Structure formats: C-alpha cells, structure tokens
Structure 1
C-alpha cells in the first residue's frame, strides 16, 4: 500500500475526515460553479450547516455482523428490486444477504434468455417494419410494484426508460417483462410511481394508474418547428393504465418533472421540479432560489378529460389538459398546485401514514415537509398560497436527495455532498418550524462511501413500513473494492435502523449504475415455477407434430425439447429461406430449462419448463450447423443437439 493511501485512512479502515472534506468541497464546487450567485449561496449554506454535520454513527462491530448473514441454504427475508440504469435492465437481490438473484432484461438485449432475439420479446420491445428492434438501448431509473390498499400486491413491477420515454411492466410471478409502452411527445421520462389507493373496481386486485413525469421540456409538437422559441418549450405529465398499458391522459405543465410520488388516498400525484426557470443551458437552470413540488388533482384531471376539455399534440390521440400556472390560478378549479421548494430539489416521497411529503433541496441543506391535507385544502380554496402547505423545513445537511421512512415517524435522507445518511423526526421538524426550540430534529448521522444517490427503507413506500433496514445506493466506491479498471463498481450499503442509532452492517458491490430500488417482504411475492403449455398458441404440444413446413420461401420448423434430446435430430432448409423455429419445452420439472443456439446465425434463447418461444432468421449460409442446448439440463446435456442442414 502506498504512503498516500495510508494517509487517506484511519487505523479502523474508515476514511479520514480531511479526505471526506476534500471530496465534499470538490463535489460542491462542481455543482455550484455555474454562477457566482449559486456559489455564494452554497458557501453560506455549507458554513451554516457544517456544525450539524459532525459525529456520525460507527459501523456495527465485527462481532455483530454475523447476525445479518444468511446461512447457506437459507432464504433471504426480502427481495430488493433495483433499476439497472443504462444497462436497461432490472436486478433482483436478496436481503439481507445482498446476493444477486437475477437480472431481468427489459429495454436491453440479453443473449442469456434471448431477449431481443425471440419473436415474442421483439414484439414486446417494438420493431421497425423490417423486423429489427426499434430501440436497442434503455436507461432504467425507477422501479415500483403495483399496490392494493396501500401495500404491494405482488402482481406487477413498473420501470421507466429515460432515454426513449417508455414504461415497462414486469410480471412478478415470472419476473419477466410482458408489456412496454412509449409515451408520446415526451423526452427524459425520469420519475414514475403507481397509484397506491384501492382500485375503483374491488374485483380487480391491482392498481389502475401509473404516473410518469417528463424531465426535459421540448417544442410541442417536436417536429423541427419553433426550435428557437425556447420560452415555449413544455413538459408533459402522463397517466398510464396499468392493465392495458395505454396512455390515458397527459398534463401540460410549466417547468419539468423529476421524481414522482402518489398519495395513499388516490387523490394526488406529485413531482418535484428542479428547472422551473425552464432554462435550456446549465447556467439558466440555476438562477432562482426556489423551484417547486408540483401536485396533480387526479379526480379533476379525469373529470376534465371526460368533459372533453382537452387538446391533442401532433399526431397523438392522447388527450392533454392544461396544467400550466396561468390556467390554474383559481384553486377551486385548478388541476395543479405548484408549491415553492428550495433549491433544485431531487426527490419527493410520502410518509407511510400518508400525511406528509418530503421534498429535499439538492442545493439547499433543507428538506421541505408538505402536508397532504393542506394541499387538498388549497384545492378547495381554504388556503391562499401554495407555500402555506409547507409545515416544516429542517436543515439536515449538504446535498439532500431521497428520503425513506420507518414505522416510528422518522425520515432517512441521503446527503450526497456530506456522504451521509441523516435520520430526522418529522413531527419534531414540524414543531421546530412552528418555533419550538426545545425539540431535537436530527437524531443521527452515519457515513456512507461515497456520495449516496437513492436511499430506501424496507417496505418504506407502503403503509407497512417496518423500520428494519435502510439501503444506500452510493455513486462512488473508490477504495472500497478490488480495482477493476477505470469503471468502478458502485456500492449498496445496508444500515440497521431498528434502534436509536443507525449501524452500517454490510456493503456489497453492485454493477453500474443503479438509480432506485425497492425492498419487498418475500411473503408478498408468489412466483411460478413451471409454465402452462396451454398459454402459448403456437405450442408444439405433441412431439409427433414436429416437422418442417414450407410455404414458398417461408419455412416453419416445429420442435420440442425434453432432456436430453430435441424431437428432431436434424432438419433441412434451403439457402435463402426465411426460417421460423418454434420450440416447446416438454419437461415439467422445476428448474429444467433448455437452450437453443444456432452457430453463425446469431441465434440463442432459452425455454423454461412447458414454455414455447420462437425465432425467425434468414438461412443465407449453406452447410451444416449443429443446433445445441446452451442451458445445462441433464447428464447428457452435451449430447442434446440437432443438425440444421442448409442446402444450396
């Protein structure tokens, strides 16, 4: 170890305070350097908040670490579903072990399962007229399951694609994506959240709406006209039906959307806004001292849509209502409410009791607490100013981002610049805001490594928050793991929050770049282990139905697989044929999956027990090609082959 490295550490392995100060200063300078006004404001905030950033709780002693381990053969208590960032996928981890269980391909291609290769997956992702994928990239940010009565129902998981403005739905019984919808007239689809309230139809045990925020303002329609009229750029807030996955309506707004939260009574959806200036360039986005948390009155919006008070943008058939400030000045008829929030907030979360929204100012050392009932009263005209819905604004540290909650009235917020998690009490913050100087708002702090982004508590986005664990997804992991080149892994650190003091009990490397995660009790998730063959219209139900079926130059090859053989040891096609292979797995044994790969044809996919999948390709190379099983299935796995003969 170099002398410089030794100087950067204390004997207990924790980072030296001077080193953390350097990290914070450098990060803050990068954020605040756009304008002198912001820089001076940041310096004042840092000076004011510095005394409160002092001692943080230490990690758990090594002797305690064992109680958080999951022994070989034992199951985890929780599932953690995590966005994969610009990998375009969703990852599943077990907690508290931190074991990675599965990657679910969503917006990316995946040669393990054939996602983006099989006809079925290409139909979900979307294709061009020539059959190629419309998009081959994705950027997943936020993952949230469907709800019934304020808690997860185990049916769906929803995840966004920021790059191409798509919403995907994952079935939680199979952990596979089954639908993808592209939002019209939207760029930078960042935040998403399902409705938490009871469904309107009690016979339907899933949520009926998913709300989606657009981060980037653009000309509407974005057709090459009015490019220089930047003051007219706008964003849209969208509502998607969770069952049909069709866009139900959109709201035209001032500013942009960042993250999204929903109320437990189904009355409000919310998004924080960090660019209310509607700036196009970076310095223009930093001029105001307050941005906003924007609330949507769901019932009024849907009434307006039903009454036909809508417009349409471009060639989209989605109804759009006007949620801009000028059109919503009268609270009694307003569709939207813009609550001023300092400064460049990033993240809005609602407490498990449904009473309060926490919205943190990224460039302010504060978290703003907004009372749900007061927002409703503003919409009824009982409160004059939107800012009057704010009931607390405690100073908690530098760079506050995301907030999770326990079951004791406490909030846990990530501090990006301080590289800490801060624990604070919501009711104490409200009392302090009213002038009570005898309450303690900030209860504890703990260092994380380094620069935490999203943070979340176990079951914390439901009314069943259990107050056991907080997971901090950190953006930097320098010095934490074995070096693997310039692209470092990132860290997910698990903190025990069950006591008065937070304890860091485990950390795990995670592949770049998780944004958001959610922790779900394992008893909520009910997975299937074997498919039903009747679900697949093209299933080859009897091996006797196997064969080669020609229609001109289009050829269909029907196959079954049952360990350790395919139903046809060989099949023949001709050069230039468009070949579709349909493969059904006839094994009924749990965990007995077969693969199918064709050398030199870029074909590889898997079929699970009783499942059917298909691929279509051009047989343009004459010769012999050994199709083989890629997924270990049997003692004679290597012998599981079929010979494709391509004749001239």
Structure 2
C-alpha cells in the first residue's frame, strides 16, 4: 500500500412556440425509436413563460451580486471543488469552480503514466493483479462519484467512484486526493448506481457515512441455472463498508438497478429501475407499462443478516438476502418496497429538505416525487397502498434524466430530448398533482447545447444546498468548439442559479465520456501539502540507508531523492536479477515532486515530498541505463540522474 490506510476521522426556450414545436418533433422521433406509445406532450397551463437563452458570459444577476464571475483573476482561488467521473479513462477529475479549471486527475482503475499508477508495486496492490504480476484489468468505465457525509453535509474524508465494466468501486482519500482501495463486487455485472449513506440508522450517535450502496444493472445467471435461461437471470443491490471497503451484504431483487439515492436519516436507500421485466433483450425490457423505484429498509436488512437469514452464492461468502417481490409482500416484515413509476426512469435524487426522492421519467415527460415518510409508513403497516407515497407526478418536458436542487425548494431537471434544463418548484408540483391547477410549478427553462444528461448543483444533495452554481454535462457539442475530426468533445456548461432566472455562464469542452459529478465548498476539504514519512513502512528515511542488497537473484535497491540529486549516482545488478527499487523523496518542501524513469524498462513514476514508492522488474537487458528525474524540480533538474548498470 502507498501509505497506511488508517480510517480517516469523521470530521427555457427562446419563445413560447418553440417548446411546442420541439415537443411535437421529439415525441414523434422518440416513438419511432423506442417503439412505444407516448401521450401527446401539450403545453401545460401551469407552465410559466419560458426564459430566453443566455449566451455564455452574458450579464446576469451574477454580475449584480449573484453567484459570481467565472473569470477569476490571476492568483484568485475557486470557491468550490468539483469531483467528476473520468469516463473511459478510469479516473476522477478534480475541477475548481466556477472557473472550470482542471486541477488534477486521480487515477483509479486504469494505468496512468504521470504518477506511475499501474507501474509501482503500491498502485498494483490497490488495482489488483494476476498471479504473474500483471494487472487484472486495464480498462474501465467510470460513471458516478460521491463523497462521504457527516450531519447531512460533506465531511472531506472520502469520495467513491464506480467502474461499470468490471464491477469495481474505488475509494479516494481526500486528504491526499489519491485512490487507496479498490473492491470488486461479487455476483454482479454492470455496476452503475452508487451512493453513500448520510448517517448510520442503527446508532443515532453515528451521524456520518458508514456504508456505500451499489446497484447492478445486468441480470446474470445464478449457480444452478442455465447460461441460456435468461428468465432466471437476477441482479443485486450491494452494501460496501465505507472503512474496510469489504462487501457487507447483498440483496437479490426482481428487475435491475440503475442509479441510487439515500435518505438523510439513514433509514432508506433506493434505486430506480428501468427493466422490471428483467428482460435480456430490448423488446423484453419494453413490455411492461411502468417501472419502479425500489426502496431498501437498511435496518431490517442488517437485522436479517445478523440473524442469519441469508444465503451465499457461488464462491462468495457475502450474505445475500431475498428482496424479491414475492418474498416481501407483508410490509411489516418486508426488506424492500417497489414503488411503481412511469416507464424507463433515469435517475433518483434526494431533496435537501430531506423529504423526497425524485425519479425522472426519460420516456415519460414527467418527474415523480415520492415522500419518504410515507414509504416508512408502509413499512410500518400504516399506509395501505404503497403507491400513495407518490405525492406528485408532473410533466416537465421531453426526456427528463437527472435532477439537482438549490436548497430553496426548486428542482432542476435535464431534458435530453428537449435539450433544455427546467427549473420547477417541488411543493407547487405537489399542489398541482393534488388538484390545484393554478399552482405554477414550472419556474424557468434554459436551452442547452446539446442533449444534456447529468446535472448537479453546488452542495445539491446536502442539507446545505446553496443554490449558487449548477453544472450540466451535454452529450453532444456539435458546433460549440473547434472541430477535431469525427470524435467531438463533449460540452459541460456552467449555469448561475442564484436568481429567479437561470443564466448560462460558460462552455467547457471535455474529452468523452464523463458522467456524474458533485460540487462542494472548498473549505470542507483540508488537503495535506506533503506526505508523512512514517506512513510508509518501507521508507528510506535517511540517504545513508541507500544501497544495494542481494538475496540470491533478488536484489533490493534503496535510493532517495533530494533536489538536485539521487542518493545513488549509480547502482549495479546482474542480468536475470529480480530488482525491487524503493525510492523516497526526502524533500519537505510543498510542490517539490521528483520523477524516476529507467529507459527500456517501462518504468516511470513520481514521488511527492516525503512519499515512498517502489517498482519490481527483471533486469533482462544488459548495459548502461540512465535513470533520470522526469518531473521538473530544480535549476539542475537535467543533471539529476543515476546509472543502472546491468552486468551480463
């Protein structure tokens, strides 16, 4: 491991006519593509007049004391951090907002040439290797990133990110902004949705994250079922321990999981389902008229596991409880609850007032508001019909996908087919759904470029949502940036939501394909500027400890770096030796990083101040190999070298 893994202490469209035309065209297109019937999406009388689209950088409420400017002065720091999924690069992007400047990338699932991720022994131990020492996986597909909570707000301890391809979850330490643990989930494929709990429901004194919930999209054969019998395929909902990163339990379910959400009291987790049919083919997935938002009663599940009411599957020892519909008909003993929602929802999000989960319809032009207190009433036998937990199901536009919040009662939902962001008031929507047709729940609309997907706002899914900035990821950019061949950049747009009207402030091109992200205040994180030397068991603490030791054909080379020199100006090994090189950076100065590369041996990595890393390789090529510092560190950087002499 790169350092000790001691748990961190908790600390609108341009005109009124445009929406109608767009709705008509996209409804026809969607019906043709999906092969399903959609109701006509006429303009609702409750919709407020649409706002005119604003060009990036246009004057707005931000220029008059609103959210602020995106153009920071030289030396001026951003007020927010943003944690973005890297998509197929398998890493996490760290941005400063509102500037949108990329600060770093944190490698997780895929090798990274800058830091030597996937090259050093420490990173390989985190990533996982095969018996021959090679990496188990070298591809990834990251989608969702979330951070740990305390008292309903981010606490700056951890962040997590998923790898959909290989069903892995990575943990990021936010004191160093590095990945320290990766866990591969058993019994699942297509791990997509991810969300940490916001407090432990078992012990009220534990008001911080203890678990991370993970949903699997794809049903797979269970032991004892045929590989071709897709009707018997099943999906799982998994719980991972936030500290140990071990899988605590899993829930066998009907249908699949898409995204995930957790309640603020720690009692409920949920996933939206777009395939209640558990279909293996497109037409099978579209046969039902409605899908579901599936709720998990966390305390009951953990009590069942503690009581031994579980089974294990295959070679995995993880407890698996039964969350299927058939086994959970009695609400007083049920572990799960399936709330019926319109077909193909995409996204479920928790409102900052702690009252609601909102599912966006995707193929339905609606958002569904589910009251969490009523879901708990159903579990307690106080609510006869579970569908009564739905307190609003209102039309917002075509292709609703994801929802963010401003902490003032408003929700912001992306409309993929309308290429819009719609701002709507949740309580007004509930009144409209209850029969008050004078309730104006749509507040504003903003045209986006183009086909927006994920959306998040500053502190959005916390009790301290501040309604300043909102970012949205658009899947297509088309004419927004200089063309660079057939593969276009995607477009991430920054929007000022501090006033009544939304104002588009900036476009940022981004290499595909990022997905979800979170935005939080900079003061919530206190990153360390240098490492602690004692955190590395194999650290070379003094240059005098440098040298070469041999144990048969295994050779250990201990070396330190301190600008502008390595402690060993040369070292000798023999052809065929298995060499383990341990390098410690003894510089204590902030931002003084060194690199170490050996030509022809596929070795290049960096060590930050007081950090230690190691590599192991076979010295199979005789000759002289100039090892040099690859990270500019000093006026004599070019002179910072060592020689590896491999004797024949």
How does the TM-score come out when normalised to structure 1? Answer: 0.93
Whole-angstrom distance in 2 between the partners of 1:539 and 1:614: 10
Give the match's secondary structure for 1:373: helix
Superposed, 1:478-493 pairs within 5 Å as 478-493=478-493
Q: Which residue of 1 aligns with 2:641?
A: 641
Gap runs ≥5 in structure 1: 1-13
Give 1:245's aligned residue: 245
1:342 equivalent in structure 2: 342
Number of the residue aligned with 1:62: 58
Q: Does 1:116 align with 2:118?
A: yes
In structure 2, runs of 5+ residues without a counterpart are 1-12, 64-68
Deviations 1:179-217 (A, max 9, x none): 001100010000000011258678878511100000111
User: What is the DSSP-based 3-state SS (H/G/I as helix, E as strand, rest coil) of the residue aligned with 2:89?
Assistant: coil
Residue deviations 1:61-99 (CA, integer Å, cap 9, x gap)? 634587332111000010010001111110011111010
Q: 1:238–1:250: 8 Å Cα contact kept in structure 2? A: yes
Q: Which residue of 1 aligns with 2:79?
A: 77
How far did 1:33 drift?
3.6
Aligned-partner SS, 1:346: coil
| Partner Cα separation in structure 2 for residue 512 and residue 24 of structure 1 | 28
Deviation at 1:242, TM superposition (A): 0.3
1:454 aligns with 2:454: yes
Measure the CA separation in 1 of the matches of 2:388 and 2:207: 37
Change in 2 beyond 3 A, CA 1:252/1:517: same
CA shift at 1:485, angstroms?
A: 1.3
The SS at the match of 2:360 is strand
CA contact (8 A) 2:570 2:642 kept: yes
User: Residue 148 of structure 1 is aligned with which of 142, 147, 150?
Assistant: 150
Aligned counterparts of 1:640 and 1:566: Cα–Cα separation in 2: 7
Give the TM-score taking structure 2 as reference length.
0.93
Q: How far apart, CA to CA, are the structure 1 residues paired with 2:272 and 2:612?
A: 44
Give the Cα separation in 2 of the matches to 1:540 and 1:18: 71
Taking a change above 3 Å as real, the CA distance of residues 622 and 360 of structure 1, as seen in their structure-2 partners, is same
**8 Å contact 1:57–1:502 — kept in the other structure?**
no
The Cα offsets for residues 141-170 of structure 1, whole Å up to 9 and x where unpaired, read as: 110000011010000001111000011100
Report how far residue 20 of structure 1 moved: 9.9
Kept in 1, the 8 Å contact 2:199–2:208? The answer is: no
Instruction: Write out per-residue CA displacement over residues 538-573 of structure 1, whole angstroms, 9 at most, x where no aligned residue.
Output: 011111111111111111111000000000111111
In the alignment, which residue of structure 1 is the partner of 2:528? 528
Higher relative contact order (CA 8 A, sep 6+): 2
Query: 1:295 is matched with which residue?
Result: 295
Task: Provide the rounded CA distance (Å) in 2 between the counterparts of 1:502 and 1:348.
Answer: 23
1:211 counterpart SS class: strand
Q: Post-superposition shift, 1:103?
A: 0.7
How has the CA–CA distance of structure 1 residues 79 and 420 changed in structure 2, closer, same or farther, with 3 Å as cutoff?
same
What's 1:4 paired with? none
Structure 1 residues 438-490: Cα deviation after superposition (integer angstroms, max 9, x where no partner): 11010100011000010011100100000111111111101001111111111
Q: Does the aligned pair in 2 maintain the 1:52–1:397 contact within 8 Å?
A: no
Provide the residue aligned with 1:539 in structure 2.
Answer: 539
Aligned to 2:256: 256
Summarize deviations over 1:96-122 as a string: whole Å, max 9, x none. 101011111010100100000000000
What SS does structure 1 have at the residue aligned with 2:122? Answer: helix
Q: CA RMSD in A?
A: 2.2
Cα offset, 1:230, TM superposition:
1.4
Question: Do the aligned partners of residues 293 and 446 (structure 1) sit closer, same or farther apart at CA in structure 2, a change above 3 Å counting?
Answer: same
SS at match of 2:347: strand
Alpha-carbon distance, 1:30 to partner: 6.5
Q: Distance in 2 between matches of 1:307 and 1:440?
A: 50
Q: How far apart, in 1, do the equivalents of 2:18 and 2:433 lie?
A: 34
CA contact (8 A) 1:553 1:576 kept: yes
C-alpha contact 2:169 2:184 (8 A) present in aligned 1:
yes
Q: Secondary structure at the match of 1:638?
A: helix
Between the aligned partners of 2:44 and 2:113, the Cα distance in structure 1 is: 50
Classify 1:212/1:581 alpha carbon distance in 2 versus 1 (closer, same or farther; 3 Å). same
SS at match of 1:387: helix
